[in-house]
């Protein structure tokens, strides 16, 4: 069985990412902090380091390639929770500015702790409800927050007519039902998450 470092390297290879010790070490430190924080506050469930890598880190990295095709520098991760996908993408993609929006104070405190510990100059955290924020973003990301209709409603204050969306979702059957209630057009993009035997899809909207 691979250790955590080897598992990350294997995942990077499957994503076509170059091996980068800085990115890898930051992600490993991030995972260690999640596990330690989980003992006090449940932010991801009682998962092992390898489960976190596969179910959360790799699922977040699956967004990186379609994200690279969208212009814009400011990215909002709405309902960031423990920092997925925004924290992982901020570590892997230092060019863009990522803002993690999380309403729960304990999770927000954790995110701020990780940002400071990893010296992530391109990542910020806003501990607030998204509808209280008026800043506009080029790209909005969301994972495990709710239906498409709910996400669009929650994020209406932080988008413009030129804002793009990438939503991380599960099965196509569920997605197609949700899209019937959407007032904007999304493209369903299947993704393969390394070592995860589950159907995953991205919903991508580029104005």
> What is d(CA 112, CA 4) in angstroms, rounded to the nearest whole number?
24
For the stretch 101-141, pLDDT in tens is 999 999 999 999 999 999 999 999 999 999 999 999 999 99
17 contacts: CB under 8 Å, gap ≥ 6: 61, 64, 92
Name which residue leads in pLDDT, 66 or 45. 66
pLDDT greater than 70 at residue 164: yes
Contact 189, 65 (CB under 8 A): no
Q: How confident is the model at residue 157 (pLDDT cuts 50, 70, 90)?
A: very high
The count of other CB atoms within 10 Å of the CB of residue 110 is: 25
For the stretch 136-154, pLDDT in tens is 999 999 997 888 999 999 9
Length of the chain: 207
Q: How confident is the model at residue 46 (pLDDT cuts 50, 70, 90)?
A: low
Mean pLDDT, rounded, for 82-97: 97
Q: Tell me, what's the pLDDT at 144?
A: 78
CA 41-63-65 angle, to 5 degrees, is: 150
**Strand, coil or helix: 17:** coil
Instruction: Compute φ and ψ for 23, nearest 5 degrees.
Output: -60, -45
Give pTM, 2 decimals: 0.95
Q: How confident is the model at residue 7 (pLDDT cuts 50, 70, 90)?
A: very high
Q: Tell me, what's the pLDDT at 50?
A: 94
> What is d(CA 154, CA 86) in angstroms, rounded to the nearest whole number?
17
Q: At what angle do helices 21-38 and 105-117 cross, to 10 degrees?
A: 150
**Strand, coil or helix: 45:** coil
pLDDT greater than 90 at residue 6: yes
Q: Tell me, what's the pLDDT at 145?
A: 82
Domain extents in the chain: 4-205
pLDDT greater than 90 at residue 183: no
Tokens standing for residue 150: 């709910």
Q: Which CATH superfamily includes the segment(s) 4-205? A: Vaccinia Virus protein VP39 (3.40.50.150)
Q: Tell me, what's the pLDDT at 39?
A: 87
DSSP tag of 138: S
């Amino acid at each position: 069985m691979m250790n955590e470092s080897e598992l990350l390297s294997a995942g990077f290879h499957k994503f076509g990412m170059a091996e980068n010790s800085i990115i890898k070490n930051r992600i490993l430190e991030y995972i260690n902090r999640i596990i330690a924080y989980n003992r006090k506050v449940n932010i991801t469930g009682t998962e092992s380091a390898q489960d976190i890598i596969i179910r959360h880190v790799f699922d977040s990295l699956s967004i990186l390639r379609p994200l690279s095709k969208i212009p814009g520098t400011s990215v909002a991760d709405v309902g960031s929770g423990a920092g997925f996908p925004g924290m992982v993408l901020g570590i892997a993609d230092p060019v863009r500015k990522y803002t993690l929006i999380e309403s729960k104070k304990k999770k927000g405190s954790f995110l701020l702790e990780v940002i400071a510990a990893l010296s992530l100059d391109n990542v910020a955290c806003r501990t607030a409800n998204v509808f209280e924020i008026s800043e506009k973003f080029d790209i909005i990301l969301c994972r495990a927050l709710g239906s498409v209709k709910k996400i669009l409603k929650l994020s209406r204050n932080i988008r413009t007519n030129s804002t793009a969306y990438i939503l991380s979702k599960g099965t196509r059957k569920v997605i197609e039902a949700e899209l019937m209630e959407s007032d904007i057009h999304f493209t369903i993009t299947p993704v393969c998450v390394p070592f995860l035997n589950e159907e995953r899809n991205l919903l991508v909207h580029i104005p």
